[in-house]
Amino acid sequence: MPESGSDPLIRQTQLFIDGQWVPAQSGKTFDTINPSNEEVIARVAEGDADDVEHAVLAARRAFDEGPWARMDARDRGKIMHRFCDFIEAEIDELAAIESLDNGKPVKDARSVDIPLAIECIRYYAGWADKIQGSTIPVRGDFLCYTRREPVGVAGQIIPWNFPILMAAWKWGPALATGCTVVMKPAEQTPLTCLRLAYLAQQAGIPDGVINVVPGFGPTAGAAIVQHPGVDKIAFTGSGETAQHIIRQSAGTMKRLTLELGGKSPNIVFADADLESAAEGAHIGIHLNQGQCCCAGSRLFVEDSIHDSFVEKVVDLSRKRRVGDPFDPTTDQGPQVDRDQFEKIMSYIDKGKKDGAVCATGGQRVGDRGFFVEPTVFTEVRDEMAIAQDEIFGPVLSVLRFSDMEELVRRANATTYGLAAAVWTRDVSKAHILAKQLRAGTVWVNCYDVFDAAAPFGGFKQSGFGRELGQRGLDAYLEDKTVTVRLG
Ligand code: NAP
Ligand code: MG
């Protein structure tokens, strides 16, 4: 096993292709940075088109000729469960690497990200032997049935906000269906994905089934998207990159699933349980340093309770402990990198200039690392940049409402449609809004409740297709219709 980097935790820094750890063909590496102190954690091999070529050939061979898609589906499921046993056995190390590379509090990686990742892979392991077609009553003397077959080689490009969890969301359905994978993790956070690949191999996932090529989007990412040997792209990240991917994949007609951003409305009515709504508003925006695609970044508060409710939310923000992600009392670590940090600070500036009131936060914390105070803006108007754009940081925009019809129009008045939440004790109102909000997920009296069995994805420019649940499998399957003349 090649070793590199000064931290003994970091054991995988090369490309993982066809079951081998290899340097980039160019010999290039890039630094991955600890966002808490801006120091280099490790040098990672920088894959590009030549390495992607090698990885796609391996994945292609593993799919077309290898045992994975051909083995008894039940055995695939068993190997996936064994993979999860290995993840569980290393949960502390994995959480530490995730926290070093991404900056999230290690307690969150340990108690949220990794358990959800394990649940996802186990959930799909259970599906492996339950993927079945149907018999169709066609006209005439024919037997007509459908088979559900793996789509082939999946190119998977993931972001840096939930590195382990995003790998699990992508690998779970791909492995269960018998697909093979070429994954590019985000340049900011390649380390846990490489460690997972190592564990997958230990668990018995055959060579070439999972290939990991760290590198940059415009080189490694684009090569995956354009490669004719890749059948499908699963992408999570920004809308801008998604548009490139749509254009660049057109030439080879790849299947696409895209999970993009949001500016999700979190709506609080005067008749809600206001204590739990305040908690939900707080976690809804600040979880993961605000770096969540489904962050409840537009908080709509009913006029009659506005001031007292905002006070509760501001109070929670003030109590949020920002600091060292390895300190067990820390609630919020640094933003993932300098670019994100600067983008967030510039939105905070814009909010102030546009006339919103910065009720708490708004400053950098310390002078080393990318820490930002939990920030709440009040008196935000719908047309302000902080109410329109995805900031992807701990910055909440509070908006007032009084009329319900007007509220629905305003809540839906964005190009996004990933998630929404409603807090009320009025059951009818909750269901009416759940129907009227144009979003892929609507939470009622809760926020950020995820389950591997429940589909997740976006309306409008928040994406194509769904991940998780049975719907998440469909994205990795082709339907084949077989018709047999009987008479
Ligand atoms: P991004 O550029 O969309 O990155 C996501 C992934 O796509 C990364 O692995 C990236 O590679 C790769 N990529 C970039 N350009 C590509 C291309 N031309 N072809 C193929 N792959 C490509 O997102 P970002 O720059 O990290 O973050 C920018 C903003 O995106 C954030 O501020 C946030 O608003 C949004 N975002 C959303 C999510 C989400 O969960 N929906 C997650 C992250 C970010 P690199 O490693 O080189 O970047
Ligand atoms: Mg990028």
Mean of pLDDT over the chain: 97
Taking Cα atoms as reference points, which of 31, 30, 21 lies closest to residue 54?
A: 21
Closest ligand by atom to 226 CA: 1
Is-contact 382 417, C-beta < 8 A? no
pLDDT in tens, 83-141: 999 999 999 999 999 999 999 999 999 999 999 999 999 999 999 999 999 999 999 99
pLDDT at 4 over 90: no
- pTM here is 0.97
* Ligand 1 atom closest to Cα of residue 185: 9
pLDDT in tens, 426-479: 999 999 999 999 999 999 999 999 999 999 999 999 999 999 999 999 999 999
Ligand 1, atom 9: closest residue by C-alpha: 186
Closest ligand by atom to 337 CA: 1
* Separation of CA 243 from chain center: 18
Q: How far is the CA of 217 from the centre of ligand 2 (A)?
A: 6
Taking Cα atoms as reference points, which of 477, 454, 421, 419 lies closest to residue 116?
A: 454
Closest ligand by atom to 185 CA: 1
* Ligand 1 atom closest to Cα of residue 292: 40
Residue 183 backbone dihedrals phi, psi, to 5 degrees: -110, 140
Q: Which residue ranges have their beta carbon within 6 Å of ligand 1? A: 157-161, 184, 186-187, 216-218, 221-222, 225, 236-238, 241, 244-245, 259-261, 293, 340, 390, 392
The active-site residue out of 46, 187, 259, 467 is 259
Is-contact 255 232, C-beta < 8 A? yes
Ligand 1, atom 29: closest residue by C-alpha: 238
120 is catalytic: no
Q: How far is the CA of 241 from the centre of ligand 1 (A)?
A: 6
* Separation of CA 186 from chain center: 11
pLDDT in tens, 166-209: 999 999 999 999 999 999 999 999 999 999 999 999 999 999 99
pLDDT band at 5 (very low <50, low <70, confident <90, very high): low
Say which residue, 4 or 35, is predicted with more confidence: 35
293 is catalytic: yes
pLDDT in tens, 81-97: 999 999 999 999 999 99
In this structure, the number of other CB atoms found within 10 A of the CB of residue 412 comes to 17
Q: How far is the CA of 246 from the centre of ligand 1 (A)?
A: 14
pLDDT (average), residues 270-297: 98
pLDDT at 6 over 70: no
pLDDT at 310 over 50: yes
